[in-house]
Amino acid sequence: MTPAQAARWRGFRFAHLIESDGPGGAERMLASLAAELQAAGSENVVIAPAGGEGWLARELSGTGVQVELYRLDRPLSRTFASWLTDTLRRHRIALAHSHEFTMAVYGAWAARRAGAGHLFTMHGSRYYADRLQRRIALRLAALLSSSIVTVSHSLGRHLAHDLWIRPSRIVTIPNGVRPMPLLQSSLRDELRLGSTDQLLVAVGNLYPVKGHAHLLEALALLAPSFPRLHVAIAGRGELEEPLRARAGALQLSDRFHLLGLRSDIANVLSGADVFVLPSLSEGVPLALLEAMLAGRPVVASAVGEVPTVLDDGRAGVLVPAGDAAALASALAALLADPGRAERLGAAARARATDAYTFDAMMDGYLGLYSKALRNHPYNGRPESVGEGQRQALPDSRPPGKRALVR
């Protein structure tokens, strides 16, 4: 954010609401957005579930962003709705930004009650569409919000259809990431790989939707022709033990590496010969964008917005989701042609740099924030605030006295 842009947001109070607390794409995007706004001089609070991993609080430590934790023990809770309204009032929030279904519904209602603006972002699949009550609730949230955001055009089209709203009401802002430094990776040494070993890397939590089981099956198909090929996956989740067991059954335990949750993603990506995204469903995955910015050649499932991100195959190889044989074939062709892999890596970096940077994402959201705040009684200038609106004034305490992450 430029100094001029930062000055525009100084003193505003923002809340960022989410229903999960782990190192997933939505949480990482929220943390980056809140930290950037905080650095610009605004006041930010993240409202996240208690009893989670505590990842958001750790990620935001030292940024000045506050974290409020809540408990929501059942889908419909008047107690939580009242707490959320009181929390927005107590922090004198001008604009609340909710993420995903539950917080979109509660956030829209609480923001209206608290006199704050509201918008929400939907990140993933159409899980909300399975039940009519959810669709109605999300439609009501949309009617109470200044903007409805999706991270992909395909999800935007589904959302308009599912909620019976005009497509023009939905804004698509793809996720964006900051450029990652090109490092001399230590991953290959960590895995004790030799100079002739080849390494496929995937980044994502170990859940069925991420398709890692299909990547393991592809490795089994490739193993006879590529005896020095390894797979490493950075992530954690419920499939860790089943994946290890399957690798053992396929006699691939020494070539299939589960790295767990990693904070050194740039280091992990720098060690890869090819980045693989075998997901069964996606929006605009941050891991894919990071791999592209790192210049890694990509083989990915043609799901969600992934074909658009990869420029319909010009910036990466696309394969059908859930098809281990097709995935193995695409990987074999790329592993056998280092020149093509290098060209695809360069195309991926150029594509991500052109269309999927953090700055581009930030500009999109700041435009929606400006729109939402035009109709808010507090426009960020203390002299424009009337006596009835004093609760929205920015904090006048010096920065050293403001509360940090708790």
What tens digit of pLDDT does each residue of 31-40 get? 999 999 999 9
Domains 3-176+357-401 and 187-355 share a fold: yes
3-176+357-401, which class in CATH?
Answer: alpha beta
Residue 384 scores a pLDDT above 60: no
Domain boundaries, the chain: 3-176+357-401, 187-355
Residue 376 scores a pLDDT above 80: no
pLDDT value for 53? 83
| Cα–Cα dist 52/35, whole Å | 20
Read off the tokens for 348: 């991926």
Indicate the DSSP class of residue 230: E
Read off the tokens for 168: 């023009």
Of the candidates 102, 107, 100, 95, the one whose C-alpha atom is nearest the C-alpha of residue 121 is 100
Per residue in 56-114, pLDDT (tens digit) is 999 999 999 999 999 998 889 999 999 999 999 999 999 999 999 999 999 999 999 99
Could you write out the DSSP letters of every residue in 144-165? TSSEEEESSHHHHHHHHHHHT-
Phi, psi for residue 237 in degrees, rounded to 5: 160, -170
pLDDT band at 1 (very low <50, low <70, confident <90, very high): confident
Residue 377 scores a pLDDT above 60: no
| Cα–Cα dist 391/171, whole Å | 31
How large is the average pLDDT for residues 147-172? Answer: 93
Helices (H), 97-186: 100-114, 132-143, 153-163
pTM above 0.85, yes or no: no
CATH number of 187-355: 3.40.50.2000
On average, the pLDDT of the chain sits at 90
More confident: 329 or 8: 329
pLDDT value for 103? 97
| Cα–Cα dist 281/301, whole Å | 8
| Cα–Cα dist 336/340, whole Å | 9
More confident: 143 or 282: 143
How large is the average pLDDT for residues 42-48? Answer: 97
Read off the tokens for 393: 């004034």
Helices (H), 250-357: 265-270, 286-293, 306-309, 324-335, 338-355
| 152-182: burial string, b at 16+ Cβ within 10 Å, e else | bbbbbebbbebbebeeeebbbbbbbbeebee
| 6-22: burial string, b at 16+ Cβ within 10 Å, e else | eebbebbbbbbbbbbbb
